[in-house]
Amino acid sequence: MNNLSRQSIFALDLPEETLDLYGKAVQVIASADGDLSLSEREQLFTEAGERGVTDVIMDSWNEFAWQQHRVAVVVALIRPHLDERHARLLIYDAIRTSRGDGHYPPEEQQAVAKAAALLNVGPETVRAMEALAKMEESVVELQNAVFNPDRKGFP
């Protein structure tokens, strides 16, 4: 996949108000285990920056008190503003953010499933997204092993 197609697939071409809710929903889903780790936040913010999310929106995400919100409520707020592609992107971003700390505990998996159901993203699609996220992580690990000769454990 070339960069242009990746950019078009993962484009967050949403109005600012919706984009603000989007990042907040991802945070609430990814914190279902009671924590939104620094690694999870870095995953979300780095990806968002690469996809053109403005500093103003990310500042709003950064100030958001994710601990005080429930998945069903936040998803209900954004649901009317998402088409099918953006609903799928939100779920995929929640999965990737949840995995940002190297863990994807049952609480986060359940929050993803709940949000997906509320957004009419089927369980088969969620499983495919989870597999894709894991494959992407494996590709990055392999690239690091192959192209970083200082790493131990790879001939």
Give me the pLDDT at residue 153, please: 57
Number of domains comprising the chain: 1
Residue of 72, 71, 62, 77 lying closest to 30 (CA atoms): 71
Give me the pLDDT at residue 1, please: 47
Does 57 map to a domain? yes
Give me the pLDDT at residue 145, please: 85
Give me the pLDDT at residue 26, please: 97
CATH number for the domain including 100? 1.10.3680.10
Give me the pLDDT at residue 132, please: 95
Does 97 map to a domain? yes
Q: What is the mean pLDDT of each run of 10 residues along the chain (155 residues)?
A: 58 90 97 95 93 94 95 96 96 96 95 98 98 92 84 59
**Residue 86, domain extent:** 12-147
Does 3 map to a domain? no
Q: How many Å apart are CA 10 and CA 85, to the nearest integer?
A: 9
Does 6 map to a domain? no
Does 124 map to a domain? yes
Does 43 map to a domain? yes
Does 16 map to a domain? yes
Q: How many Å apart are CA 35 and CA 143, to the nearest integer?
A: 29
In one letter, which amino acid is 76? A
> Which residues are within 8 A (CB) of 39 and not within 5 positions of it... i.e. 6 or more apart?
100, 101, 102
Give me the pLDDT at residue 5, please: 56
